Amino acid sequence: MKLKLPQVTVSRLALYLRVLEKLSRQGQELIRSEELAERCGVSAAQLRKDLSLVGAFGVRGVGYQVRALEKEIKRILGRDRIWHLALGGLNELGRALLAEERLARRGFRFVAAFDWREEWIGQVIQEVFVYSLEQLPYLVKESDLEIGVITLAGKEAELMAEKMYQAGIKALLNLGPDPLELKAEGLLIHNADFTVAFDLLAFELTHH
Amino acid sequence: MKLKLPQVTVSRLALYLRVLEKLSRQGQELIRSEELAERCGVSAAQLRKDLSLVGAFGVRGVGYQVRALEKEIKRILGRDRIWHLALGGLNELGRALLAEERLARRGFRFVAAFDWREEWIGQVIQEVFVYSLEQLPYLVKESDLEIGVITLAGKEAELMAEKMYQAGIKALLNLGPDPLELKAEGLLIHNADFTVAFDLLAFELTHH
DNA sequence: TACTGTGAAATATTTCACAGCA
DNA sequence: TGCTGTGAAATATTTCACAGTA
- Rounded-to-integer distance, Cα B31 and Cα B9, Å: 20
Q: Is the pLDDT of residue A1 over 80?
A: no
Nearest CA-CA partner of B18 in B109, B126, B110, B101:
B101
Contacts of B79 in chain A (CB under 8 A): 199, 202
What is the band of B1 on the pLDDT scale with cuts at 50, 70, 90?
low
> Cβ of B155 under 8 Å from any chain A Cβ?
no
pLDDT at B208: 85
Size of interface A-B (CB pairs under 8 A): 182
All structural domains of chain A with their residue ranges: 7-76, 83-196
Pick the CATH number of B83-196 from 3.40.50.720, 1.20.140.10, 3.40.50.1820, 3.40.50.2300: 3.40.50.720
- B88 CB neighbours strand C below 7 A: no
Q: What is the pLDDT of residues A79-136, one digit of tens each?
A: 999 999 999 999 999 999 999 999 999 999 999 999 999 999 999 999 999 999 999 9
Provide, for chain B, the percentages of residues in helix, strand and coil under a 3-state DSSP scheme, each rounded to the nearest 5.
Answer: 45, 20, 35
What is the band of B181 on the pLDDT scale with cuts at 50, 70, 90?
very high
Tell me how long chain B is: 208
Give, for A38, the enclosing helix (H) or strand (E): helix A33-40
Which nucleotide has the shortest C1'-to-CA distance from A56? D5
The Cα of B67 is separated from the nearest Cα of chain A by a number of Å equal to 19
Q: What is the CATH number of domain B7-75?
A: 1.10.10.10
Is A205 within 8 Å of B106 when comparing Cβ atoms?
Answer: no
Instruction: For chain A, give the mean pLDDT.
Output: 97
- B148 CB neighbours strand C below 7 A: no
Q: What is the mean pLDDT of residues B45-64?
A: 97
Which nucleotide has the shortest C1'-to-CA distance from B34? C3
Cα atoms found within 13 Å of the Cα of residue A166, Cβ hemisphere only: 12
What is the band of B2 on the pLDDT scale with cuts at 50, 70, 90?
confident
pLDDT at B163: 98
Is A92 within 8 Å of B100 when comparing Cβ atoms?
Answer: yes
> Cβ of B55 under 8 Å from any chain A Cβ?
no
Of A41, A77, A206, the CB nearest to B179: A41
Instruction: For chain B, give the mean pLDDT.
Output: 97
CB A202 within 8 A of CB B17: no
Fold of A7-76: Arc Repressor Mutant, subunit A (1.10.10)
> How wide is the angle at C-alpha B57 spanned by C-alphas B54 and B61, nearest 5°?
135
Chain centre to alpha carbon of residue A204:
26
Is B171 within 8 Å of A205 when comparing Cβ atoms?
Answer: yes
pLDDT at A208: 85
Contacts of A188 in chain B (CB under 8 A): 201, 204-205
